[in-house]
Amino acid sequence: MSTATGAEPAAPEQPAPEARVIDATELDVEAHAALQQRVFGGILEENGIPLERLGPAVFAWKLAPPAGPARLAIVERGGELLSSCTAFPVELGRGEERVRGWHLCDAVTAPEARGQGLFGAVLDALGDGLPAEDWLFAFPNGQSRRAFEKRAYRTLQKVPLWFRPVGGRPRASERVRPIAELGAEHDAFAERLAAERGLAAVRSAAYLRWRYLAHPYFDYQLLELRRDEGLAGLLVLNRMEARGRVSLWVMELLALDGAARKELALTARALGKAQGCDVLLAASSGKLPGALRVPPCFLPKQHVLMVRGAGDAEREPGAWDVETGDWDTF
């Protein structure tokens, strides 16, 4: 029946669906990946990246880190996934301190469900019910940063992007070789690093296996620097092609001293040249030896670390250290 204006009566508004938190083992990974591909597939296509980069295998890997299963806040309507955000656990270390952090990532909302506050709803839900001593952290883009600020996340660090052309005649160190096996010696190395750095993911053997060796999409290069006294550094590299340019990303450059850092960086540059790369890149708190910092005005996205305490938003986070590998994009 028409109204006096000739328009059909408006359908009653449906209440906004609520977010609920699930364990990663409860997730329909196929549906999760399909929504990610629907929303972000165009960006991948523009950069010549296959949809496989956001395929079910990648999410199944990410949701099962060594620190335990991820949590997801999801919003559904009629069984259809409309919005979600992931938080996967990481063991953080600084000195003798060991604490759990939750890395928030992969926030997504279906285009037809935008403007309903679903992103804020999943963010709120993920923070509920966690132990007060845990940390929540993220590397949000410019569009979502305001939502984190409204929930008392603080910008702890604007992570620098370092670049170094691979030209010249760099020589790889003979003491830097591919890692044959990750084990107890690498666990001890991770503990030594934690004693000297800001709060960061503990780079244990289990973490490195999961983060790099088990990744279903990227083929990382893992190397180590050995001196007479033993393990002195770790180097993880990722060769990437996008828009006709080839770069070598320094995912991890972990060393016991400055000389080891320089030796690893020079080896990375030599490998980059041998592999046809144009430039070395790193998004890290610490300077990549021999590199220059890209001015923020030239960055398509400022890499920002935002942090808050799970139980107390006013808790002081202290100093944190970031490596490229903390960012799940690469």
Give Cα separations from 139 to 41, 180, 212 (angstroms): 20, 32, 20
Kindly report the pTM of this predicted structure: 0.92
CATH 3.40.630.30 matches 161-298: yes
- In degrees rounded to 5, what are phi and psi of residue 279? -155, 150
Largest CA distance in the chain: 90
Q: How far is CA 185 from the centre of its chain?
A: 25
**Do 161-298 and 20-156+304-323 have the same topology in CATH?**
yes
Place of tokens 């403007």: 115
Q: Where are the domains of the chain?
A: 20-156+304-323, 161-298
What is the reported pLDDT for 14? 56
Please identify every stretch of the chain with a pLDDT value under 50, giving residue numbers as ranges: 1-13
Angle at 48 between CA 217 and CA 104, to 5 degrees: 50
The 3 state secondary structure assigned to 87-147 is EEEEEEEECCEEEEEEEEEEEEECHHHCCCCHHHHHHHHHHCCCCCCCEEEECCCCCCHHH
CATH number assigned to the domain with residue range 20-156+304-323, chosen from the 4 options 3.30.365.10, 3.40.50.300, 3.40.50.10360, 3.40.630.30: 3.40.630.30
In the chain, which ranges are continuous DSSP H helix? 29-46, 56-62, 118-127, 145-150, 184-194, 205-208, 258-274
